Each structure stands twice: as C-alpha cells, then as structure tokens.
Structure 1
C-alpha cells in the first residue's frame, strides 16, 4: 500500500461581535489545535493525512464540530501540490517552521 499524503486546508470566518461568539470562536480554534491542525495564517489552518481516505473520513468528524454560524471552507490537496505554495510577502508562520522542522530557534 502506498501513502499519498494529503493536506486538508481549512479556512474560516466566524463572527466575534458578542461574548458568546468569541467563546465559540475560541472553542473551535482549540478543537483544531487539539486535533493536530497548524496555523498557516489567521483563520487558515492545515493538517496532514496519510492518504485521501483518512482525510475524507476526518471531514465527517470536522463537520460534527463546526460552529453553526460563520463561514468554513475546506480544500484537500496532495502534499506535492501543497509543497508548491509560494509565499509572496512574509514567510512561514513560526508554528509551521517548528512543526515542519524547516528551521529552529537559537537561544
């Protein structure tokens, strides 16, 4: 069996006007982090999966844990496609660098 790694990229825009909405936002963000997502940018998270089947299965889990309001979108891409992302301004987030092992912090 071969492994064709897949990346699930999740984009979300949740309302944060009321105290309750901010609480829901924080709970959803904590859910993502607890489940292995890393932050690419604010409100853009990604997670790697061993294959497409595992990623699709996780979409079902995700669907049961999303807030009822706001906008949430997902995009599945192969690891090869993901590796071709070009950063035009700035760089990788600190979390991306630490998780992917691309760099390290000198103390």
Structure 2
C-alpha cells in the first residue's frame, strides 16, 4: 500500500504528482482513496521489489509512505462511511434478473 501527500503549489509540483500517480496506475496499483493506492503481490520478495521500484520513482518533494499488509489483514478492513460496491450476487432467490 502506498500513501502519499505531495505538494501541488507550483506547476512542477503538479506535474510530479501526475507522473507519480500515472506510474502507480501503470504498474498495477489501484486507487483506494485519493492518495492511497494498493497492489496485490504474491510474496514478500515481490513486495520488496515493488517497494524498491516505488522508491526510485518517488517525487523529490512531499511525503510517500509504504505499508505491507497480508491479504488476510486486508480482508478484515471495515468500511465505516459510504457504500460498499460489489458485483458478487449474495441472494438465495431462485430467479435473479441482472
């Protein structure tokens, strides 16, 4: 999981923000919140490689933090505000109209 708080006062700062965000998306991260991106990897070795790659691509200014959590820990996340969107059908009805 990558969390960041980057300055956007100058045009150079805004460009660095856009480049970093596009880098995260192009390498398989998905946006959880505006400045929180997550990526699923198979093991700790792969996580270390991804973290090293993010370190190389981080903007020169601002705060970038990385956190490794297991899939089991991630599954225990609780959404407190808003609606959870899911495409999983959880109905026991015999007829479903989709």
Q: Normalising by structure 2, what TM-score? A: 0.84
The answer to whether residue 83 in structure 2 is matched with residue 103 in structure 1 is no
Match of 1:91 among 80, 83, 92: 83
C-alpha deviation, 1:91, in angstroms: 3.4
The structure with the greater share of residues assigned to strand is 1
Mapped to 2, the partners of 1:48 and 1:73 lie a distance apart of 17
Instruction: Point out where structure 2 has 5 or more consecutive residues left out of the alignment.
Output: 89-98
Mapped to 1, the partners of 2:66 and 2:82 lie a distance apart of 23
Match of 1:59 among 25, 47, 51: 51
The 4+ residue runs of structure 1 with deviation greater than 3 A are: none
Mapped to 1, the partners of 2:29 and 2:65 lie a distance apart of 15
Deviation per CA, 1:17-74, whole angstroms, max 9, x where unpaired?
1111111100000000000000000000000001111001211111110001100001
Q: Mark the structure with the bigger radius of gyration.
A: 2
Residue 25 (structure 1) aligns with: 17
Q: Normalising by structure 1, what TM-score? A: 0.78
How large is the RMSD of aligned CA atoms in angstroms? Answer: 1.4
Give 3-state SS (helix, strand or coil) of 1:48's partner: coil
Residue 3 (structure 1) aligns with: none
Mapped to 2, the partners of 1:91 and 1:33 lie a distance apart of 23
